[in-house]
Amino acid sequence: MTVALTATGLTKTYRTLFGGSRPALRGLTLTVPRGVSFGLIGPNGAGKTTFIKVLLGVVRPTGGDVSVLGGQPDDLNVRARIGYLPERMHLPAALRALDFLRSIATLKSLSPTDAELRRSLERVGLATDSQRIGTFSKGMRQRLGLAAAMLGAPDLLILDEPTDGIDPVGRVEVRKLLLEEKARGATLLLNSHLLSETERVCDRIGVLHDGTLKLEGSLDDVRRVTTRWQVKFAPGADASVLEAAGFVGGLFEGDVDELNAALDEVRAKGLKLVSLSPDSKDLEQVLTDVMGGSAS
């Protein structure tokens, strides 16, 4: 497995105003393979922003080890391969979008033509370069930030609330762009409170709470309810037979052995199974369970 980033025993403690300390990360250990789209979710204050700042080399960890794209976060060669969209962007109001992208390209030591930069703007839905950024709506500013992050086809895209301020139709467009970036081989690290968008884009999920990674795995694994199953039988199935065997409302509670015994029972009475799948939770319920200490 080729790795995009690793963190081992990562800690970060901030000094408080009156000489105390506040831990933001508490021994975080995580490996993100290259080419995946990884969603980092958790409540406010969980440590997500601190972790991102550590990956970008903006904040130095108090303890532990971190590696990004095979190097250290403060390595300029590593930074050049990362595209970053912050949650709160401070864009120069007097510039136009094309001027802004030119400045970002210079910072990244890139030399795109104006035609290429205009195509980058068109790709994110900004077809005009006549307006000054100060007149942009929040959604337009977000699109511009995304265009800047994707300049130079970075190997790692770190995106903090990428669809913030963008309308539902625009979210579909952004989702398409992110999946295109993943298809070309980029690794995506997505931090968003819009959990439904995270589910649509990410194939792996990490749940961060109180500076600790509480749960991590594939989207299917973290959403799966291991002892509940969704079942569907052919039309005309006798409801009383199903209920007697434990099939209620299209669901069955029990482990694999119990499920198979119940299926054998109803099939012996002539009922035909049409579909069967593990039951799953949405990410909102996953997060709620983890925060309540009852994640499954």
DSSP state string for 43-104: -TTSSHHHHHHHHTTSS--SEEEEEETTB-TT-HHHHTTEEEE-SS----TTSBHHHHHHHH
Contact 158, 55 (CB under 8 A): yes
Is pLDDT of 281 > 90? no
Predicted TM-score (pTM) of the model is 0.82
Domain 3-93+141-210 has CATH 3.40.190.170: no
Instruction: Enumerate the domain spans of the chain.
Output: 3-93+141-210, 224-291
Percent above pLDDT 70 for the chain: 98
Mean pLDDT of 92-109: 92
pLDDT per residue as tens digits for the range 115-172 = 999 999 999 999 767 789 999 988 899 999 999 999 999 999 999 988 888 888 889 9
Confidence of residue 83 (pLDDT cuts 50, 70, 90): very high
Residue 293's pLDDT is 54
C-alpha 155/C-alpha 188 separation (Å) is 9
**pLDDT tens-digit readout, 102-130:** 999 998 899 999 999 999 999 999 976 77
CA 79 to mean position of chain CA atoms: 20
Average pLDDT (232-246) is 94
Contact 31, 55 (CB under 8 A): no
Averaged pLDDT of the chain: 91
